[in-house]
């Protein structure tokens, strides 16, 4: 990532995502600021192949592609679930476990099957964490990277109807409910740095660097 001076984000910003759930969360996080968020899908931008080997690399690929295609600053997230007992899987392949249809009900069922096969049957052996890498890219090549993590335990069967992806099976440390049982305010927070989710924590760093007055 470039080490040049920080730039303030203002005006229009492309959210480089075609995932409705992720797009909704990003817009909720950006809502309090003087930034007009337009999605890559709304602009008809294609999705680049995610060929990176880390969350940061894949986020940068998406942000760069959207910035170059749109001529605007672009904001991309790459995130996923890393399970200790599965040697970090599904990791950067978290979305792909849902297949072409993004079937996360099936992905969560696969997750449980894999844990059983590994003998991870109790709470102590079902530790996991979410990672979010946020990259802001400008058309001239300047980039900024921010990363957030949240640790917790996987619970089955899935619980809750909020959120998206693996949220129904992830219970963050210090809580008795899953991400999918929390409101958007509980998950993302409403004041500086108090967001619980991995994306909110990464966004808090972005906000401090690029959005704070």
Nearest to 156 by CA among 203, 206, 111, 201: 111
Q: Spot the catalytic one: 78, 103, 122, 194.
A: 78
Distance of alpha carbon 40 from alpha carbon 92, whole angstroms: 21
Distance of alpha carbon 198 from alpha carbon 192, whole angstroms: 15
| Strands, E assignment, 58-160 | 74-83, 127-137, 143-154
Which residue's entry shows tokens 């909704």? Answer: 24
Q: 202 near 133, Cβ under 8 Å?
A: yes
Distance of alpha carbon 18 from alpha carbon 47, whole angstroms: 8
**Which residues, in sequence order, are bridge partners of residue 39?**
15
The question of whether 77 is a catalytic residue gets the answer no
Q: Burial-class residue 136 by CB neighbours within 10 Å (0-12, 13-18, 19+).
A: buried
Could you list the active site residues? 78
């Amino acid at each position: 990532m470039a080490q040049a001076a920080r730039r303030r984000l203002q005006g229009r910003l492309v959210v480089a995502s075609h995932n409705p759930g992720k797009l909704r969360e990003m817009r909720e996080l950006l809502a309090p600021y003087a930034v007009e968020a337009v999605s890559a899908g709304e602009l008809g931008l294609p999705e680049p192949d995610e060929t990176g080997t880390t969350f940061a690399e894949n986020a940068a690929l998406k942000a760069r592609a959207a910035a170059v295609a749109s001529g605007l600053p672009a904001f991309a997230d790459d995130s996923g679930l890393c399970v200790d007992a599965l040697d970090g899987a599904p990791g950067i392949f978290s979305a792909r476990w849902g297949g072409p249809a993004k079937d996360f009900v099936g992905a969560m069922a696969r997750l449980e099957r894999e844990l059983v096969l590994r003998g991870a049957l109790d709470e102590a052996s079902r530790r996991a964490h979410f990672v979010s890498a946020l990259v802001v890219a400008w058309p001239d090549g300047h980039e900024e990277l921010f990363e957030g993590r949240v640790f917790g335990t996987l619970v089955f069967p899935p619980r809750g109807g909020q959120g998206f992806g693996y949220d129904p099976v992830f219970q963050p440390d210090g809580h008795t409910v899953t991400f999918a049982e929390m409101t958007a305010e509980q998950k993302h927070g409403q004041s500086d740095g108090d967001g619980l989710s991995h994306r909110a924590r990464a966004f808090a760093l972005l906000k401090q660097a690029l959005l704070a007055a």
